[in-house]
Chain A
Amino acid sequence: MPDRETPRRLRAGFWVATFALTLAHLLRFQHGDEALYLGWLPADLAFRIVWIAAATVVIFVMTSVSWRGDQGESP
């Protein structure tokens, strides 16, 4: 993969990941699961923590790649 293509693909990946996370936020919660993972962690809370970990990676890509590609002056 040529070097020039990498930021472009990462930028596209950032938007796809953002959309996927938003969708997961909307759809995953309706489970009514009262189970406690590891004996203490509610299922929904566990899911949200994993979701936040993924969002943190997306934010890192946003600030490292997309931000750099957005250097244009505002109107």
Chain B
Amino acid sequence: MSDASLILSVVCVYFVVVLGIGVAAGRRNVTTAEDYFLAGRSVKTLVLFMALVGTNITPFVLMGIPGLSYHRGVGVFGQNASIIVLGIPLSIYLIGLPSWRRARALGAVTPAELYAKHFNARWFGWLVFTVYFIFTVPYMVTAVSGVGIAVDTFSDGKVSFESAAAGILLVTLLYTSLGGMRGTMWTNVLQGSIFLTFSVVAFFLIADVRGGVAPTMRAVASAHPELMSVPHEGPFRLGPWASWGLGISLCVIAFPHMLVRIFAAQDENSLKNACRLYPAAMVLLWIPCVLFGVWGTLDFPALAGRASDAVFPLLVERHLGPFAQGVALASILAAVMSTLDAQMLTLSSMLTRDVLSRVRGDRQQILLGRSFLVVLAAITWVIAIRKPASIFSIAALSFSGYVTLIPTMFLSMRWPAFTRTAATCSIVVGNVALVASHLWGPADAALLPVAWALLAGTLAAVITTTLSSPRPRPGDATNA
């Protein structure tokens, strides 16, 4: 069997297993919209944890972070990984927990539905859906781009970027459509296990081939000492460092596909346990990813710009055999699909339940949701094949956009006086500030656009709440 055939076989086995899980989940009593979109709110610790990690980890980590570390060194770990170890569990506690309680109390299935019911205004759900849609599609593009780059590398250009992107979207579409939320969460357990295990195993295998971890690190320190320390300029200055830390910590709870996973938790203990397990998963994944990028400078010293996004697959191809290359590709596909499925399902559920809410009946909603998945996949593919920017740059834009929802998400659950007028002002002002600072802010500004957007959105929320009348309580009137 040739190397290419072996790689392809490993990937095909992975696809068959994932599709099998989707079919099995689909056969298990998917009759109501709540069952299809939220797995009947019955997800326990292990599946919830793996689903959260699987949803959280994308090619941004597996390919974008090695690509970034290749240029910026080990400081990328502190810049990105350590702060989210604290930030994600803290945001689950401060925002996810009250949202989970409120969603159950109101019978809300989607994030947009939660806020529409909470504020007694259907149009508010449309506003939230619009923001989610605008910032989720680019994030989906990063996932599909990661697959395109990886397949292109492992197949030596024999499988085109366009074909790989279409293939991943098609398989994800199939099992998501068949299995709904339950299917995606079950597959996330498999997918999370694959990429967590492989990143650790590949770390030690590649180190072993290079003579061990210590000699490899010393070789990098000798050839590129600047990669072993945190510099004082660019993104490592205090302002950009602090604002990026703020953005990357807060954006995860603002992902609609993360929040909807939290809604699916069976009880609070499952959420608590997921928080406790989070640091271990982050360390296991992020340290290898950062060091892959740093080590890549020894083998591939001339990768310029976004070409460094391919450094992880290049390392695997250089140092490991075809079977490991197949598993590496499967693990990248797993990271992509475990996020892509949640994003597609969440946007689809928000469209059918919140925007086109006149559609009555669970079966019609599910059918409409499945149709929207196809449209969404087509939009993502068309944008991805244009290769608009590096994975990190596109993801940074998406993350900043999600953060504009944070004041509304936090204050609506924690401040009884917070009104829907204030929430609307906060979202609009936050997004205007984000766009303005992106377009007109200086390149070397003290703070990144995400910090200005969060500050403006928070100020707008607080000022408008103090000036506006109390919101009507749920049940006082029918939805507007």
Contact = CB atoms under 8 A, between A and B. Distances in A.
Interface in B53-105: 74-75, 77-78, 81-83, 85-86, 89-90, 93, 97-99, 101-102, 105
B372 interface: no
Contacts of B99: 74
A48 to B, nearest CB: 4
B232 A32 contact: yes
Contacts of A59: 86, 89-90, 275-276, 278-279
Contact of A30 (B101, B238, B268, B278): B238
A59 B241 CA distance: 23
A58 B271 CA distance: 16
B413 A48 contact: no
B229 A48 contact: no
| Size category, B interface | 35 or more
Give the one of A18, A42, A62 with max B CB within 10 A.
A42
A26 B101 CA distance: 33
Please classify the interface of chain A as helix (H, G, I), strand (E, B), loop, or mixed, using the class held by over half of its residues. Answer: helix
Please classify the interface of chain B as helix (H, G, I), strand (E, B), loop, or mixed, using the class held by over half of its residues. Answer: helix
Contact of B89 (A48, A62, A70, A74): A62
Contacts, number: 123
Interface string B236-280: 101001100100000000000000000000001000110110111
B225 A26 contact: no
A60 B217 contact: no
Give the one of B74, B102, B242 with max A CB within 10 A.
B74
Contact of B279 (A18, A41, A56, A67): A56
A39 to B, nearest CB: 5
A52 B97 contact: no
A29 B272 contact: no
A25 B75 CA distance: 12
Interface in A55-70: 55-56, 58-60, 62-63, 66-67, 70
